[in-house]
């Protein structure tokens, strides 16, 4: 089943999301989705921690959506600022990971992949 075609400017990010989605699904049974994202990105690609904020106040951030984008932003902000500087709240109406899910059949786990694949995605043509 194919969704509506994506604009050309979103093609590169779609390919990147498919790659990230595959890595996340493979690591879905780790303790948290944050661990899966960090594992995929590797320690060398983590954002260096910023110096403490001058105000001493914690930044409050609301993240809308627990899909790959929202989850990645949450990990990035926590790595950048640390738990002591940022308070993250994620609002989602489906399981964390969005369309990147793993299903279990007969005791085996399988990557379900994204629910919608665009016809413009060169990897699926």
**Model pLDDT for residues 16-46, shown as the tens digit of each residue:** 555 555 555 544 444 566 666 666 666 555 5
pLDDT of residue 1: 42
pLDDT in tens, 59-116: 888 999 888 888 888 888 888 888 888 888 889 887 777 777 777 888 888 777 665 5
Instruction: Bin 116: left if φ > 0, else alpha if -120 < ψ < 50, else beta.
Output: beta
- DSSP H or E segment with residue 18: helix 11-26
The dihedral through the CA atoms of 37, 15, 117, 67 has a sign that is positive
Q: How much is the pLDDT for 53?
A: 66
Would you say residue 8 has pLDDT above 70? no
Domain segments of the chain as ranges: 2-124
Q: 103: which residues sit within 8 A by CB, 6+ positions away?
A: 109, 110, 112
């Amino acid at each position: 089943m194919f969704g509506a075609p994506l604009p050309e400017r979103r093609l590169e990010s779609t390919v990147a999301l498919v790659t990230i989605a595959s890595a996340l699904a493979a690591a879905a049974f780790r303790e948290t989705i944050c661990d899966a994202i960090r594992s995929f990105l590797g320690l060398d690609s983590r954002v260096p921690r910023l110096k403490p904020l001058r105000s001493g106040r914690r930044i409050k951030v609301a993240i809308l959506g627990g899909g790959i984008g929202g989850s990645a932003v949450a990990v990035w902000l926590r790595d950048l600022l640390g738990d002591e500087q940022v308070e993250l709240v994620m609002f989602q109406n489906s399981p964390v990971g969005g369309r990147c899910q793993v299903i279990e059949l007969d005791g085996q786990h399988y990557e379900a992949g994204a629910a919608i694949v665009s016809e413009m995605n060169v990897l699926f043509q």
